[in-house]
Amino acid sequence: MNLSKSARWGLTAITGIVLIFIYFPLLVILINSFNASKVFSWPPTAWTTDWWTKAATNDGVRAALLTSIKAGVGATLIAIVLGSMVAFAVARYDFFGRDSISFLVILPIALPGIITGIALNASFNTVLVPLGISFGLFTVILGHATFCIVVVFNNVVARLRRTGTSLEEAAMDLGAGPFQTFRDVTFPAVRSALVAGALLAFALSFDEIVVTSFTAGPGVETLPQWIFNNLFRPNQGPIINAVAAALLLAFIAPVYLAMRMSDGPGRVVQVGAEP
Amino acid sequence: MSAVTTEPMTSPPSGGSSSGSAFLYRHPRLRLTGLLTAPMLWLGVLYLGSLAIMLIAAFWSTDEFTGQLIKTPTLKNFHTLLTGQVYWVVALRTLGIAVAVTLIDMVLAVPIAFTAAKVVKSRGLRYALVIAVTMPLWAGYLVKGYAMETMFINNGVIDWMLAPLGLKGPGLGIPATVFSLAYLWLPYMILPIYAGLERLPDSLMEASADLGASAGKTFRGVVLPMIVPSLIAGSIFTFSLTLGDYIMVKIVGGTTQMFANIIYDNVGVANNLPLAAAAAVFPITVIVIYLLAVRRSGALENL
């Protein structure tokens, strides 16, 4: 587009301002995690690394971290299996109701989390509890897996559509059966998309709080829940800040990696539009 | 070679393949069934079944003394919600906040998406820009919520920035809630618009310029109509996420209540699952009406 120099400059300036708008609050958290003050104060006048040490040795934080990792791993494993199965079915077969299935997969993330949360809460209460299965880590994993499936599905289905079927047909023509074709041709082609989907699914689960609070049993506290519960307690501010700063840094590498490995950085929220 | 066959061999593959593999090869419907059974049990039975149970539970009630569920169908919950003035106030406030958040995100997202898709020439820089706006999506909801609290709290960062001008920030309340939600959902708006602009051929804008339209006129007459489906796709996210949010308003909203707080409090503190389930019908209805209204625009393809 032939934009005038001033329009070009204007757009670049707005882009810069929006980027500052996005990153400045996060930078404040990083800086403030070294603020020596015991209560919230800005700007910092003295510095310390105490809060980082205190956060790292806090029993509540460590227990919550472990719970979050367990929930994330469990949900991601289920999402990998189910998400790639649907992706193969949708990308490689033509059948009645295919569009409805794509829609069904994105529904848990298109509806607000509180709807998914309360629906699962109601059904666990009516079905699982009478069977003697009480709310706990298991129910959290069930809930997380439900909305993690879409992330794996998106990444894998995009890759399957992009790679087409010609290589698989060639393998079959050369005498490979379905299992061998899958192992030697299909799987290597989708491997990086699968890893990207898995990383993003884990990130999604690790960060989730709404569905978690409706499906967790007493005594089960994930890291986001720990932050939320401590947000309204006195004197916990600096430790929360250090935990938040640590999470911020911990997220950068895996998410960046996942974006490089998937077929487009915008893939996460896009479904079905690409050929 | 005299003939090349494009069809896969019809005889079962031999040599090294198991008989199970050969059997599956001959039965594609069986392969499809195998692929779909487990996911459909999960999403179709567990998830849709849960939604159905929730909708049924909306017609139940709870015993006021024992807190036990009474599973006799009643319209009591809907009557309570429709006649309670506070529910109407909160519902309208929530819709207002959702509209404000959506508009703010559109205004912020269009220039940055346009810059990334059409102004930046280098591929690497474009990619870096898209990653830069997507990364915060994964930075952690509560981390961002906490960040917003440090911005808006009394004597927080915004007050500090405005102090030299002799001004004070809005503090915790509805403006802080609107701004924080817009901050949280911004990437959801940028990405569909970016994708829409990327599909828009440059030649259309060049043709418009050749025919004498100014950049502003080209934007209004050519670019904007073409990205309407993207704007709607983004607004589905900003709208749906805002209607379902009860946490950010607790952190930065002061005493403000949003509709999802009614749902949350009835499940937790009040232990009235049926009333919460009935209240959940409101955001579902709004979103379903929204989805039906925009279905024809092609926006769902951009989701």
Domain boundaries, chain A: 54-269
B40, B133: one domain: no
In a domain, B44, yes or no: yes
Q: Could you tell me the residue range of the domain that residue B118 belongs to?
A: 83-302
* A8 close to B (CB below 8 A): yes
φ and ψ at residue A81, rounded to 5 degrees: -65, -55
B99, B157: one domain: yes
Using the beta-carbon criterion (under 8 Å), do B277 and A118 form an inter-chain contact? yes
**Exposure class string for B182-195: b at 16+ Cβ within 10 A, else e:** bbbbbbbbbbbbbb
Contact list, B276 vs chain A (CB under 8 Å): 118
Level-2 CATH architecture, domain A54-269:
Orthogonal Bundle (1.10)
B223, B271: one domain: yes
Using the beta-carbon criterion (under 8 Å), do B53 and A119 form an inter-chain contact? yes
Using the beta-carbon criterion (under 8 Å), do A114 and B206 form an inter-chain contact? no
Distance of alpha carbon B208 from alpha carbon B157, whole angstroms: 45
Nearest to B147 among A28, A175, A269 (CB): A28
Using the beta-carbon criterion (under 8 Å), do B273 and A11 form an inter-chain contact? no
pLDDT at res. B6: 44
B46, B104: one domain: no
Question: What is the per-residue pLDDT across B23-73, written as a single tens digit (0 to 9) for each?
Answer: 766 777 888 888 888 999 989 899 999 999 999 999 998 887 877 878 888
Q: What is the ipTM of this complex?
A: 0.83
3-state SS assignment for residue B62: strand
Instruction: Report the percentage of chain B scoring pLDDT > 90.
Output: 33
Using the beta-carbon criterion (under 8 Å), do B143 and A93 form an inter-chain contact? no
Residue of B142, B210, B255, B272 to mutate when probing chain A, most A C-beta within 10 A: B142
Q: Distance (Å) from the C-alpha of residue B6 to the closest C-alpha of chain A?
A: 9
Residue B20 has pLDDT above 60, yes or no: yes
Using the beta-carbon criterion (under 8 Å), do A104 and B283 form an inter-chain contact? no
B170, B47: one domain: no
Question: What is the per-residue pLDDT across A76-96, written as a single tens digit (0 to 9) for each?
Answer: 999 999 999 999 999 888 888
CA geometry: angle at A26 spanning A20 and A29, to 5°?
135
pLDDT at res. B298: 60
In 3D space, the residue among B191, B48, B34 whose CA is nearest the CA of residue A103 turns out to be B48
Distance of alpha carbon A99 from alpha carbon A179, whole angstroms: 27
Q: Distance (Å) from the C-alpha of residue B180 to the closest C-alpha of chain A?
A: 11
Nearest to A88 among B9, B35, B146 (CB): B35
B160, B240: one domain: yes
B122, B168: one domain: yes
- Reported as a pLDDT band with limits 50, 70 and 90, residue A2 is low
Distance of alpha carbon A71 from alpha carbon A275, whole angstroms: 34
Question: What is the per-residue pLDDT across A32-87, written as a single tens digit (0 to 9) for each?
Answer: 899 888 878 888 888 988 889 988 888 999 999 999 999 999 999 999 999 999 99
Distance of alpha carbon B85 from alpha carbon B92, whole angstroms: 11
Q: Distance (Å) from the C-alpha of residue B112 to the closest C-alpha of chain A?
A: 5
Nearest to B186 among A22, A119, A179 (CB): A22
In a domain, B4, yes or no: no
B44, B120: one domain: no
* A1 close to B (CB below 8 A): yes
Using the beta-carbon criterion (under 8 Å), do B146 and A244 form an inter-chain contact? yes
Q: Which two tokens stand for residue B50?
A: 């849960």
In a domain, B253, yes or no: yes
- Residues ≥6 apart with Cβ < 8 Å to B106: B189, B231, B234, B235
B115, B255: one domain: yes
Residue B5 has pLDDT above 50, yes or no: no
| Chain A residues 149-168 within an 8 A CB cutoff of chain B | 149
B45, B89: one domain: no
In a domain, B13, yes or no: no
Nearest to B284 among A115, A178, A272 (CB): A115
Nearest CA in chain A to B12: A177
* Burial class of residue B56 (count of CB atoms within 10 Å of its CB; 0-12, 13-18, 19+): middle
| Chain A residues 23-42 within an 8 A CB cutoff of chain B | 23, 25-26, 28-29, 32, 40-42
In a domain, B66, yes or no: no
Q: Which two tokens stand for residue B167?
A: 């001004």
Instruction: Report the percentage of chain A scoring pLDDT > 70.
Output: 95
Residue whose entry in the numeric block shows the structure tokens 């506070």: B86
Question: What is the per-residue pLDDT across A138-149, written as a single tens digit (0 to 9) for each?
Answer: 999 999 999 999
Using the beta-carbon criterion (under 8 Å), do B119 and A227 form an inter-chain contact? no
Residue B2 has pLDDT above 70, yes or no: no
In a domain, B168, yes or no: yes
pLDDT at res. B299: 58
B30, B177: one domain: no
Q: Is the dihedral of CA B296, B299, B302, B303 positive or negative?
A: negative
pLDDT at res. A179: 84
Count of CB pairs separated by less than 8 Å, A with B: 307
B99, B176: one domain: yes
Strand pairing partners for B62? B69
How many other β-carbons are positioned within 10 Å of the β-carbon of residue A110?
Answer: 21
CB A193 within 8 A of CB A156: yes
